Amino acid sequence: IFLDPPYYSATKSALYGKNGNLHKSFNHERFAQTMSNCKHNWLITYDDSNYIRELFSFANILSWDLTYGMRNTNGNSTQIGKELFISNYLEAFPKQQQTSMFENKINKILPFSSQIVTSI
| pLDDT tens figures, 5-64 | 988 876 555 555 666 566 678 899 999 999 999 999 999 999 899 999 999 999 998 887
Is the model's pLDDT at 95 over the cut of 60? no
The DSSP secondary structure of 27-56, one letter per residue, reads -HHHHHHHHHT--S--EEEEE--HHHHHHT
Domain-by-domain residue ranges, the chain?
2-115
How many C-beta atoms lie closer than 10 Å to residue 87's C-beta?
Answer: 18
Edge-to-edge strand ranges of the sheet holding 2-3: 2-3, 43-47, 79-87, 60-68
pLDDT of residue 92: 37
